[in-house]
Copies of this chain bind each other. A is one copy, B any other.
Amino acid sequence: MSLAFGPYVRERREAKPAKEFSLRRVAGRVGIEPSYLSKIERGEQPPPGEETIQRIARELGEDPDVLLALAGKVSADLLKIIRERPALIAELLRTVQGAPAKRITHAVREIRDGEW
């Protein structure tokens, strides 16, 4: 797990202007200790909690869902959607597993356009 979260964050951070995106500055804006961020980026420490990942994503302009996935997690709001209709959504997800992205995108459009 977390095979890539840390290094990915590091790479994304270092791709930004060094001055404003030093490890210390980013840690400061995210609200965690620099040593903690350092360990996370090097994979010495497992990824942080969801809230912290969300703030990192915002700071680096990354997709929170993707970052959470790299951390082996799933956003709490998605979990809630599943828990509200477990049987139905579970079936949907298991059906969607392995289906080509095109078909899923199409289904999304259909569900959205059908309701208003």
Enumerate chain A interface residues (CB-CB to B < 8 A).
Answer: 63, 65-66, 68-69, 72-75, 77-79, 81-97, 99-101, 103-105, 107-108, 110-112, 114-115
- Once bound together, how far apart are the Cα atoms of A104 and B114, in whole Å? 11
What's the nearest-Cβ distance from chain B to residue A94, in Å?
A: 7
Tell me if B103 and A114 are in contact (CB < 8 A).
yes
Given contacts A81-B93, A107-B92, contact A115 B87 (CB under 8 A): no
Given contacts A65-B90, A78-B90, A87-B63, contact A111 B107 (CB under 8 A): yes
Given contacts A82-B78, A115-B99, contact A108 B87 (CB under 8 A): no
- Once bound together, how far apart are the Cα atoms of A97 and B84, in whole Å? 9
- Once bound together, how far apart are the Cα atoms of A3 and B65, in whole Å? 28
Tell me if A94 and B81 are in contact (CB < 8 A).
yes
What's the nearest-Cβ distance from chain B to residue A18, in Å?
A: 28
- Once bound together, how far apart are the Cα atoms of A84 and B98, in whole Å? 10
Tell me if A63 and B81 are in contact (CB < 8 A).
no
A-B contact pairs, 21 of them (CB 8 A): A66-B86, A68-B86, A69-B82, A69-B83, A72-B83, A73-B83, A74-B79, A77-B94, A81-B93, A81-B96, A88-B105, A89-B96, A89-B104, A91-B108, A92-B92, A92-B96, A92-B107, A95-B108, A100-B115, A103-B114, A104-B111
